[in-house]
Amino acid sequence: MEQLALYREWRPQFFRDVVGQDHVCRTLRNAIVLGRLAHAYLFCGPRGTGKTSTARILAKAANCPNSQDGEPCNSCESCRSITAGTAFDVLEMDAASHRGIEEIRDLRQKVGFAPTAGRFKFYIIDEVHMLTGEAFNALLKTLEEPPRHTVFVLATTEAHKVPATILSRCQRFDFRRLGRDLIAAHLERVAREKGWEVEPEALNLIGRRAGGALRDALGLLDQAASFTGGHVTAAAVEALTGTLGEEALKPVLDAIYLGDVPSLLEQLEGFSARGCEPRQFLYQLTDYAREALFAARSAGTEMEWHAAVLRGLAEADAEMRGSSRPDLVLELALLRLADASPLRQGAAAGLQKDDSPGAPSRAERAAAGAEDDRRNRPIGGGSEEGAETGSAREGRRSAGGKSPALLEPPPGCGTKAPPEKPQGTPQGARGEREHGETDLITLRKFLQGRFRKQPLMGQVLAAAEIRQAGGRILISAPPPFGMLLQKEENRRSLQEVLREFDSRLELEIGENASDREELPEVPAGGTNRREEEAKRRDAAAGPEEGVDDPVVGVALSLFKGKLIKRREDGD
């Protein structure tokens, strides 16, 4: 007796046997009952989800004389011949190997012939997206207005490659990728019918490796049963397919979270010795990290860290595609994630390495302390005295006076609100004094730091006067600098940066220093008053006569230039 592959032996023969595609089967079954069969269908979806099998069941149900509730009887001559693949009224064509215009012309010549036994003649074209553009054009008119007895079923895994002119002439059905629970339940039923003993964890590993394709899952189960003699264990599936279980993936994720680089390197060396393929290992680790992300459910450091890990793994996946050393890309990506772990960041604050992702409260405090240190560093240069707060000072005390190097926290791993400032902390980056005024020297440095990539704006801010009255900040500069400040895009950028410095401040722009005499003047830079006054005197001379562009005027003033010739756009 011929031995059939498991996926062929368990190919569905009724609509009710199709797994996980109820939305498709119900529509097709009702179309048979109501006599509303369309002339063309497009079945699209991932591989191994039942597209071709459903097309055959549709052909049987449409031609079956004993059809009940849209299901074929599977016992009449028409049903048996279609099941055996010998029916003259059901023609299957593989577009991957018959993709030219000549094959489609031959099909068009045969479409007009009436069916030999049933009521309908079915043309099932698999992987239809592989047809050439000329072949699609040749099929177009026939697909739009076929004979009444002809039904086309087009199947594809890449619907986006099918021309819109073809899509608009078909009823489209999207076959969904199957979930692991659904695959495991079906495999358990198959194993029970075959008399095999299969561990639940083995079914879970097969479902994870199948990637939502039931045909792949049945093939793996068939292979595992041959490997083990009918007693399928999780260890056997791991050895056969290279799929890693939770006991192998969880230590890797924990080592990344804890920042335990030696443990991570040891595990990577073990996987390499076992012959694990780097791309497959990355796929499985990504899948496991995604499950951990959804298991966290509530927002917090744990969930945000899992999201950061997924982001790093996705970047490694993109790097692997063009690399000849995928193992090196994988190792470097995991080491980067381990270096950026919240517990490694919080080592200076006395965090222990036995913390787990399930108890992130101590890691939250460490990440918050690192974020506070980053915010209190001077902006745009200057002394770093007084900028060290939070976990950095505590870590130096715990390390006997040595200041450890804190890594930059990964995106999204910090807490939502910064920790409270200790009493006696020096003035921070925002420069707010006790009586509510703003430190304008710090503000000037902050603005210059934000505009360091725009040299002209940096020079304007260095020469401008910055004054305060309540919640208003007046920035005024003599011509031509004032003209540059008045430009709408520069005003808007200044307001955004000012709100970043302190959300309560409003911006006002003045053209010179005398328009708001009631506001007290503050020194421009707090460094060399003579240089500032010299710059203002040079700028007060104004732009060259005939210069109406503020940018040109600022450039002439800065470099003591002279306008020699004007060139218009048409010159």
178-236 per-position pLDDT tens digit: 988 999 999 999 999 999 999 998 998 898 888 889 999 999 999 999 998 889 998 88
Token pair of 20 as six digits: 């996980």
Token pair of 405 as six digits: 């190097």
Can you tell me which residue has the tokens 């690192």? 370
Q: Which one, of 16, 27, 21, 15, lies nearest residue 61 by Cα?
A: 15
Average pLDDT score over residue span 139-157: 90
Residue 533: per-residue pLDDT:
55
Residue 80: per-residue pLDDT:
92
CA distances, 219 to each of 34, 127, 223, 225, 530 (Å): 37, 21, 6, 10, 84
Q: What share of the chain in percent tops pLDDT 90?
A: 27
CB 124 within 8 A of CB 90: yes
Distance between CA atoms of 554 and 543, rounded to whole angstroms?
A: 7
What domains are defined for the chain?
6-174 (3.40.50.300), 180-241 (1.10.8.60), 244-381+389-417 (no CATH), 440-558 (no CATH)
Q: Which one, of 171, 225, 179, lies nearest residue 21 by Cα?
A: 179
Residue 284 C-alpha from the chain's centroid: 16
Distance between CA atoms of 23 and 29, rounded to whole angstroms?
A: 10
Residue 557: per-residue pLDDT:
66
Distance between CA atoms of 463 and 485, rounded to whole angstroms?
A: 12
Average pLDDT score over residue span 61-72: 92
Give CA angle at 492 (380, 435), nearest 5°.
Answer: 60
Distance between CA atoms of 77 and 64, rounded to whole angstroms?
A: 9
Distance between CA atoms of 421 and 434, rounded to whole angstroms?
A: 14
CB 257 within 8 A of CB 274: no
Token pair of 81 as six digits: 């011949």
Residue 452 has pLDDT above 60, yes or no: yes
Residue 423: per-residue pLDDT:
41
Q: Which one, of 464, 472, 466, 475, lies nearest residue 509 by Cα?
A: 475
CB 153 within 8 A of CB 58: yes
Q: What is the side-by-side strand order in the sheet with 465-469?
A: 465-469, 472-476, 506-510
Residues with Cβ within 8 Å of 502's Cβ and at least 6 positions away in sequence, in order, are: 430, 432, 438
Helix axes 214-228, 200-210, angle to 10 degrees: 130
CA distances, 522 to each of 428, 457, 494, 507 (Å): 20, 20, 19, 16
Residue 221: per-residue pLDDT:
93
Q: Higher confidence at residue 562 or residue 369?
A: 562
Average pLDDT score over residue span 434-444: 66
Distance between CA atoms of 151 and 168, rounded to whole angstroms?
A: 16
Token pair of 64 as six digits: 């079956």
Average pLDDT score over residue span 238-244: 81
Q: Which one, of 221, 226, 220, lies nearest residue 198 by Cα?
A: 221
Q: Higher confidence at residue 404 or residue 477?
A: 477
Look over the chain and give the mean of its residue pLDDT values, rounded to a whole number. 76
Residue 462: per-residue pLDDT:
77
Residue 253: per-residue pLDDT:
87
Residue 172: per-residue pLDDT:
95
Average pLDDT score over residue span 302-331: 86
Can you tell me which residue has the tokens 């093939």? 219
Q: What share of the chain in percent tops pLDDT 70?
A: 71
Distance between CA atoms of 422 and 97, rounded to whole angstroms?
A: 74
CA distances, 208 to each of 317, 334, 448 (Å): 18, 22, 54
344-379 pLDDT, tens digit each: 655 534 444 444 444 444 444 444 444 444 444 443
Distance between CA atoms of 382 and 63, rounded to whole angstroms?
A: 85
Task: Calculate the dihedral angle through the C-alpha atoms of 261, 266, 269, 275, rounding to the nearest 10 degrees.
Answer: -120
Pick the range with the lowest mean pLDDT from 88-92, 173-177, 445-449: 445-449
User: Residues, the chain, total?
Assistant: 571
Residue 304: per-residue pLDDT:
79
DSSP lists the bridge partners of residue 402 as none
Residue 235: per-residue pLDDT:
87
CB 390 within 8 A of CB 369: yes
Residue 132 has pLDDT above 60, yes or no: yes
Residue 116: per-residue pLDDT:
85
Q: Higher confidence at residue 416 or residue 499?
A: 499
Is the sign of the CA dihedral 494, 495, 499, 505 positive or negative? positive
Element (H, E) at 232: strand 231-232
368-409 pLDDT, tens digit each: 444 444 444 443 333 333 334 444 444 444 334 433 333 334
Residue 480: per-residue pLDDT:
62
Pick the range with the lowest mean pLDDT from 251-255, 273-277, 541-545: 541-545
Give CA angle at 558 (555, 559), nearest 5°.
Answer: 85
Q: Higher confidence at residue 135 or residue 384?
A: 135
Pick the range with the lowest mean pLDDT from 43-52, 278-287, 500-509: 500-509
CB 91 within 8 A of CB 109: no
Distance between CA atoms of 222 and 240, rounded to whole angstroms?
A: 12
Q: What is the CA radius of gyration of the chain?
A: 36
Distance between CA atoms of 233 and 297, rounded to whole angstroms?
A: 31
Residue 570: per-residue pLDDT:
58
Can you tell me which residue has the tokens 């799929």? 243
